[in-house]
Homo-oligomer: A and B are copies of this chain.
Amino acid sequence: MFFSINRIALIEEINKCNRIIDIKTPSPSITGILIDVNIDSLSLTSTNTVVSIKSLVRLNEMNLNIKQVGSMLIKGKYFLDILKKMDDDIVNISCVENNVAVLSGKKLEFSLNILDFNEYPNLAFREKGDSINVNCFDLKKALNQTIISVNEWKQKIVLSGLNFALKDGAFYITGTDGYRVSRKRLNFWSTNIENKFETNIPYRSVLEIIKLLPDNGECKIVIVDSYTSIVINNTVFQTTILEGQFPDVNAVFPSDFNTTIFVDNKKFFKLISRADLPNDDNSIPVVNMILEDEKIIIKSSIHQVGSFEETFEEFELKGIDSQSISFNSKYLIDSLKTFETKTLEINLIDSKKPIVISSAEDDSLSQIILPMFTS
């Protein structure tokens, strides 16, 4: 094999593939990136046990010039390191005697040992099936807003990832660990408006999708059997899915509230951050919020460290003006961080019912938190 290509573009493609590789895997061939050079295109493929990536570059894209077809299995980390240190715009890459890759520029040449591509698994990529298109930036934001409620190590497997559900013309991404729920509605485009599907994406795959998504353009989400793929431009990202029935979280969403508190997002976030007392053993303080006499009093304490109390008056109120409710401070802080709006609404029923955090400025996002029962 022998081809030349734009160095910067190749770095980006190898980066995508390299990120998912698990270098601790017992089979050395799986730690490699497979480069396949055909007559009219070049593809780069990598995998770990859960996700696989394939990037396709066609002739003349990224200055690709193919002189001889063939395959080789490279160590992505070495290639990246070397390509980044080179100055040449175009690099020539060839394979010599099936065991050495030669990278060359105008005045320099690297000879690198490679892996045996015959040992590489035959990966099938699924790009056709039920699909919808979404905006890449919106999807990235939605994943970041919902992943906060997911516990990767949850015993109930289906909860250890995010639920993607298209139903009744709405597309929702939902995460829950049983104590809190993050739900986001996302705009989408589909040629088939009768479309309906549901899939559960593992936690680690979600993190990889977030890294892979660019800040603009569209991507396609494809659901096939026991896989879900995200097609972003020339790249297919494919993940296995989590088996099981995701709980119907819509059923637990309260809708009638006794009290709604309207607060400035930033100010309320800073207030709750202060209640999150520092400590050396990862204790998470319980935050007690008391609403009385047109004031909010926030209290927290950790036995070894000390205590905190602050009076907050910058809010508006609808409904019952006397409440006392306690939360895990981390859950509350995580939830507040996901909102980009200027104001927030904290919706309460009583001290034992879940609260819903939302914003009238953007009704696509809701965060639910179960309160803690304190003496």
Chain A residues engaging chain B, CB cutoff 8 angstroms? 77-78, 81-82, 85-87, 100-101, 107-113, 270, 273-274, 277-279, 304-313
- Asked if B311 and A110 sit within 8 Å, CB to CB, the answer is no
Chain B residues positioned under 8 Å from A110 (CB to CB) = 277, 306-308
- Asked if A306 and B112 sit within 8 Å, CB to CB, the answer is yes
Number of this chain's copies in the assembly equals 2
Chain B residues positioned under 8 Å from A278 (CB to CB) = 77-78, 81-82
Per the bound structure, the CA–CA distance linking A273 and B87 in Å amounts to 12
Name the residue on B nearest A313 (C-beta): B107
Selected from B111, B277, B279, the residue in CB contact (under 8 A) with A307 is: B111
- Asked if B112 and A311 sit within 8 Å, CB to CB, the answer is no
8 pairs of A and B residues whose beta carbons are closest in the complex: A108-B310, A81-B278, A112-B306, A78-B278, A85-B274, A111-B306, A111-B307, A107-B311
Per the bound structure, the CA–CA distance linking A78 and B112 in Å amounts to 51
15 contacts between A and B (CB under 8 A): A77-B278, A78-B305, A78-B306, A85-B270, A85-B273, A107-B311, A107-B313, A108-B310, A108-B311, A109-B308, A110-B307, A111-B307, A111-B308, A112-B305, A112-B306
Q: A275 CB to closest chain B CB, in angstroms?
A: 9
Excluding A77-B278, A82-B278, A111-B306, 6 further A-B contacts by CB distance (< 8 Å) are A107-B311, A108-B309, A108-B311, A109-B308, A109-B310, A110-B307
Chain B residues positioned under 8 Å from A304 (CB to CB) = 113
Name the residue on B nearest A109 (C-beta): B309
Name the residue on B nearest A309 (C-beta): B109
Q: A364 CB to closest chain B CB, in angstroms?
A: 30
Chain B residues positioned under 8 Å from A87 (CB to CB) = 270
Per the bound structure, the CA–CA distance linking A309 and B113 in Å amounts to 15
The interface centre, meaning the residue of A77, A87, A306, A307 with most chain B CB atoms within 10 A of its CB, is: A306
